[in-house]
Amino acid sequence: MTIETGIIFFIILWCLVIAILSLVSGWYQLSKKYPCPADLQIIHDCGLTSLTLGIPYFPVSFSNCVFVRIANEGIIISILFLFRLLCPPILIPWNEVESVQRIRYMFMNSTLLNIKNNKRRFRFFWSAGDTLFEMCKQKGVKINA
């Protein structure tokens, strides 16, 4: 195998893995339901963080590659360019957030975000989770104990 063949094989494998993770996690389906317009005014930028997304017992982990931003319209979630295949930015409107919960997960505090009529849920870590929890409280989102 030549170097060129190896590089092409790696790129194809990379795209395949990213596409599968997007489909399994539900990111692709959520992006179709909640597309993010480009012209939203950001009121808070949580920066680069980690999250898990998916069904409760089989979530996909997006570690240190997700940007979380808060707008008046809702929560904007996007991913680094290298992982963006089938993962366009998502805007979760505040009125679509069913509930929020602070829980301990893998020895870390995290924020669990449930979306209405969707079995997939987000788990945000670090300061992004703290910020989202506080914003959800301000927006009147149901808080689970």
User: 3-class DSSP state for residue 25?
Assistant: helix
Show the domains of the chain with their CATH numbers. 3-143 (2.30.29.30)
Judge whether residue 53 has pLDDT over 90.
yes
Contacts of 48 (CB under 8 A, 6+ apart): 64, 65, 66, 67, 80
pLDDT digits (tens, 9 = 90+) for 12-42: 999 999 999 999 999 999 999 999 998 899 9
Identify the pLDDT of residue 100.
96
Contact 19, 12 (CB under 8 A): no
